[in-house]
């Protein structure tokens, strides 16, 4: 037990859930199996579960079930947040304050998001690397997508847009910034290198996404009245969404087949020799993983619904604007697992994985989740376009361009991380002081337009 404690202290990131035969996720990279950096980082939060308690149970089938539950529920350091889920549900039914439901749901979503990526990985072990990569690429940000779809259903388009935009900003500036800052301070004497081609590719995808957001925005300014451009802007957004999904599809082909070598982090040269040799095994069975995934998704859906329902009340009672809550708070919750992973790999001076996590997640949201929401909204008959308004699009543009410039030279130091982090703080401060109502584009435009037409008519 003592020796186990020591290894845990020295290499917390290597520790896996499962019995001692289980191996580190990183070792798989050495074997040429392709896993994206995204999935790798999530493992950093996992911990080895102790089977001593469970093994006392006699009945074999009962023991298996208990082991399974232990793997899934207790396999993460975030599992202390699981009690928030029943608490949120109880608070909802007992009619406690809406803001309590909001905050408990947010806390409950954090471990669920991490567990979903764990289960996706487990399924990937059975399906092989390519299908697994695809699964990761589509389910990696499932929490954000589910929240967005619930917000769409209750017709809160602003919350959808804000939460997705906030997720991109948080990945680009907060996650990357803190990672580079911590990594830069921890390895202040070392050279911190990474392969810039992967980062370039992601920046390019994000620039395409930026253009798709920018044009509908500029569209509204070109014509005399916003009503004239609402219809064509919607068509443009839908066409651009299809283009973006196509681009994401080709990006997956690029990443998983033709240029796989760009996206695979280099092998570890040193250390961990004893772990590298054996193959990885799944901790839980395929069907049980699938069942768990379905169960988790139901809970995510439930909590997302609470979050979406109560965000307005929480905003009112705390005196914070909805835009601040959805741009800053929601993404921090959804990205917590990736965030921790990215920082830990930055501490180890493995910036390729850090960049893969942060940029890969940002690209996924911008090029897959956002256009998917537009298309889902189209199917549901909701008029959601890609126009994110001036302040938000400006923040996005600066975040993408600053990140692109930061990653130009293939090296890093703490100052780069600090600047990115400070950019995030400034953007956060901007939305903190902003006091607009929920639908900022409707209200001012409509009011000014109405008063304008009134004055024209009266004249």
CA-based end-to-end distance of the chain = 87
> In the structure encoding, which two tokens stand for residue 415, read together?
């100052």
> In the structure encoding, which two tokens stand for residue 55, read together?
């093994």
Given the complex with another protein, which of 263 and 299 has the nearer CB atom?
A: 263
Given the complex with another protein, which of 72 and 384 has the nearer CB atom?
A: 384
Between CA 354 and CA 342 the distance in angstroms is 5
Given the complex with another protein, which of 408 and 439 has the nearer CB atom?
A: 408
Given the complex with another protein, which of 92 and 416 has the nearer CB atom?
A: 416
> In the structure encoding, which two tokens stand for residue 20, read together?
């001692």
Between CA 208 and CA 173 the distance in angstroms is 18
Given the complex with another protein, which of 173 and 302 has the nearer CB atom?
A: 173
Tokens 């929240």 sit on residue:
147
- In the chain, % helix, strand, coil (3-state, to 5) comes to 75, 0, 20
Structure-derived torsion over alpha carbons of residues 217, 222, 223, 224, reported in degrees to the nearest 10? 100
Given the complex with another protein, which of 37 and 103 has the nearer CB atom?
A: 37
CB of 367 to another protein, least distance (A): 10
CB of 157 to another protein, least distance (A): 20
CB of 315 to another protein, least distance (A): 32
Binding site for another protein (CB under 8 A): 196-197, 200-201, 203-205, 207-208, 210-212, 214-215, 218-219, 221-224, 228, 232-233, 235-236, 239-240, 243, 246-247, 250-251, 254, 258-259, 401, 404, 408, 452, 455-456, 458-459
Contact at 8 Å (CB) between 352 and 37? yes
In this structure, what DSSP letter does residue 224 have?
S
CB of 184 to another protein, least distance (A): 22
> In the structure encoding, which two tokens stand for residue 186, read together?
């921890």
Given the complex with another protein, which of 69 and 207 has the nearer CB atom?
A: 207
> In the structure encoding, which two tokens stand for residue 290, read together?
């699938």
HSE-CB at 382 with a 13 A cutoff on CA atoms is: 21
Report how far apart, in Å, the C-alpha atoms of 430 and of each of 125, 161, 165, 390 are.
44, 17, 14, 13
DSSP secondary structure string for all residues of 321-336: -HHHIIIIIHHHHHTH
Given the complex with another protein, which of 279 and 409 has the nearer CB atom?
A: 409
Q: Is 432 exposed, middle or buried (0-12, 13-18, 19+ CB in 10 A)?
A: middle
CB of 386 to another protein, least distance (A): 10
Count of Cβ atoms closer than 10 Å to residue 149 Cβ: 19
CB of 45 to another protein, least distance (A): 32
Given the complex with another protein, which of 223 and 294 has the nearer CB atom?
A: 223
Residues contacting residue 149 through CB under 8 Å, at least 6 positions apart: 373, 376
CB of 373 to another protein, least distance (A): 18
Contact at 8 Å (CB) between 310 and 108? no
φ, ψ of residue 387 in degrees (nearest 5): -80, 110
Given the complex with another protein, which of 367 and 438 has the nearer CB atom?
A: 367
In this structure, what DSSP letter does residue 412 have?
-
């Amino acid at each position: 037990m003592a020796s186990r404690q020591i290894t845990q202290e020295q290499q917390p990131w290597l520790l896996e859930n499962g019995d001692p035969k289980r191996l580190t996720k990183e070792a798989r990279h050495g074997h040429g199996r392709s896993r994206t950096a995204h999935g790798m980082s999530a493992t950093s939060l996992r911990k080895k579960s102790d089977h001593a308690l469970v093994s006392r149970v006699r009945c074999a089938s009962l023991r298996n079930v208990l082991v399974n539950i232990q793997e899934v529920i207790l396999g993460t350091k975030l599992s202390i947040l699981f009690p928030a889920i029943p608490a949120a549900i109880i608070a909802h039914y007992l009619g406690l304050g809406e803001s309590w439901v909001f905050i408990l749901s947010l806390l409950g979503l954090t471990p669920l998001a991490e567990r979903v990526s764990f289960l996706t990985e487990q399924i990937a072990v059975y399906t092989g690397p390519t299908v697994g990569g695809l699964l990761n690429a589509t389910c990696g940000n499932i929490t954000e997508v589910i929240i967005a779809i619930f917000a769409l259903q209750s017709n809160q388009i602003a919350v959808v847009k804000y939460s997705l935009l906030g997720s991109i900003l948080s990945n680009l500036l907060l996650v990357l910034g803190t990672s580079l800052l911590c990594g830069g301070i921890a390895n202040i004497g070392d050279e911190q290198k990474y392969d810039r081609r992967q980062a370039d590719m992601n920046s390019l995808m994000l620039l395409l996404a930026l253009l798709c957001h920018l044009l509908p925005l500029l569209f509204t300014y070109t014509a005399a009245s916003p009503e004239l451009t609402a219809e064509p802007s919607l068509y443009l957004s839908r066409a651009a969404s299809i283009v973006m999904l196509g681009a994401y599809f080709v990006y997956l082909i690029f990443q998983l087949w033709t240029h796989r070598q760009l996206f695979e982090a280099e092998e570890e040269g040193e250390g961990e020799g004893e772990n590298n040799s054996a193959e990885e095994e799944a901790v839980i069975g395929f069907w049980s993983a699938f069942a768990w995934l379905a169960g988790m998704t139901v809970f995510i859906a439930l909590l997302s619904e609470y979050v979406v329902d109560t965000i307005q009340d929480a905003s009112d009672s705390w005196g914070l604007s909805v835009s601040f809550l959805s741009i800053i708070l929601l993404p921090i919750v959804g990205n917590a697992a990736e965030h921790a992973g990215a920082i830990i790999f930055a501490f180890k001076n493995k910036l390729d994985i850090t960049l893969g996590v942060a940029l890969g997640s940002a690209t996924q949201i911008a090029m897959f989740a956002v256009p998917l929401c537009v298309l889902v909204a189209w199917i549901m008959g909701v008029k959601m376009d890609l126009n994110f308004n001036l302040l938000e699009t400006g923040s996005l543009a600066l975040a993408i361009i600053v990140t692109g410039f930061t990653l130009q030279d293939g090296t890093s130091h703490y100052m780069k991380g600090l600047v990115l982090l400070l950019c995030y703080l400034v953007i956060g401060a901007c939305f903190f002081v902003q006091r607009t109502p929920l639908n900022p584009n409707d209200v001012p435009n409509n009011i000014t337009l109405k008063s304008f037409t009134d004055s024209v008519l009266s004249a």
